[in-house]
Copies of this chain bind each other. A is one copy, B any other.
Amino acid sequence: MDGLRFDGRKRNQLRDIRFSRNYISTCPGSVLVEMGRTRVLCTATVEDRVPPHVKGTGKGWVTAEYAMLPRSSAQRVVRERSTLKTGGRTHEIQRLIGRSLRAVTDLKALGEVSVIVDCDVIEADGGTRTASINGAFVALVDALAADGRWQGGRLPVKDWLAAVSCGIVAGMTVVDLAYAEDSMADVDMNMVMTGSGGIVELQGTAEGEPFTKEGYDLMIDMAEEAVGKIVKEQRTALGEELSGRIGAI
């Protein structure tokens, strides 16, 4: 119960997290997020058109695409264009990222505009989907701030957003699993929360034995604390001025 994790972290300890903004010179909303060795390049693009199901509603839309570079993983990942199919895992992750971002975006204030966030994994050491959400949020804020529409004023972003993984590994409940832990976890949970503590998405899967409600409660508490820390890092990365333009009216 008191042992350290394989990399010396405590059970509730996150890996080092870093946001490098303006990573690509021609893309204002481009962020390289790092959580330990997991690195994801997140870029947000504002486009002046919306998908058909939104057209005419006066509202906007936020969507995401996710991909792994071929050598982001120790085993080379075959490009999806070669298989002529987007895999199920890819679909699941990009739908999760998109839904999560929409939950904190004020789609009405956004207007008939869409934001597409691309999350491309440079190196994958566990937690790529949660790292993607963390970086995507920062990229989204940067892209909206750079757009002429909301200059200086409140951005169409209602709340902060961060995500973290939890799991039970060798009987120990831990947060922010690295790949070495992820691959031997009995339970794998991903939690997406807002800065004010609301739950946006919550997905738990028993990889081996089914888990109990108690185990589940413990994970939620741990995730809640971790999300708070990540939001703090995002706030530091974005700086005071930009941070002040986030939040419901």
Cα-based distance from A204 to B95 in the complex (angstroms): 14
Query: Is A57 among interface residues, defined by CB-CB distance under 8 A?
Result: no
Indicate if A79 sits at the interface (CB-CB under 8 A).
yes
State which of B81, B197, B199, B209 has its C-beta within 8 Å of the C-beta of A81.
B81
Q: Is the CB of A24 within 8 A of B72?
A: yes
Judge whether B103 and A41 touch: CB under 8 Å.
no
Nearest chain B residue, comparing its CB with the CB of A119 = B70
A199 to B210, CA, bound (A): 5
Q: Is A1 an interface residue (CB 8 A)?
A: no
When chains A and B are docked, how far (Å) is the Cα of A88 from the Cα of B87? 9
Interface members, chain A 199-215 (any B CB < 8 Å): 199-206, 209-213
Question: How many residues of A are in contact with the other chain, CB < 8 A?
Answer: 62
Question: How distant is A35 from chain B, measured CB to nearest CB, in Å?
Answer: 14
Check if B71 sits within 8 Å of A43, measured CB to CB.
yes
Judge whether A210 and B88 touch: CB under 8 Å: no
A18 to chain B, nearest CB (A): 15
Q: Which residues from 53 to 74 on chain A have a C-beta closer than 8 Å to any C-beta of chain B?
A: 65, 67, 69-74
| A residues with CB within 8 A of B | 24-27, 30, 37, 41, 43, 45, 47, 65, 67, 69-74, 76, 79-82, 84-89, 91-92, 94-95, 99, 103, 116, 118, 120, 122-123, 159, 193-194, 196-206, 209-213, 216, 220, 224
16 A/B residue pairs, CB under 8 Å, sorted by A: A26-B123, A27-B71, A43-B70, A69-B120, A71-B118, A80-B81, A87-B91, A88-B95, A91-B91, A92-B92, A193-B210, A198-B209, A201-B204, A202-B203, A202-B205, A203-B203
Not counting A25-B37, A198-B212, a sample of 12 additional A-B residue pairs whose C-beta atoms are within 8 angstroms of each other reads A24-B72, A26-B73, A26-B74, A27-B71, A27-B74, A43-B71, A76-B116, A92-B95, A198-B209, A199-B211, A200-B205, A200-B210
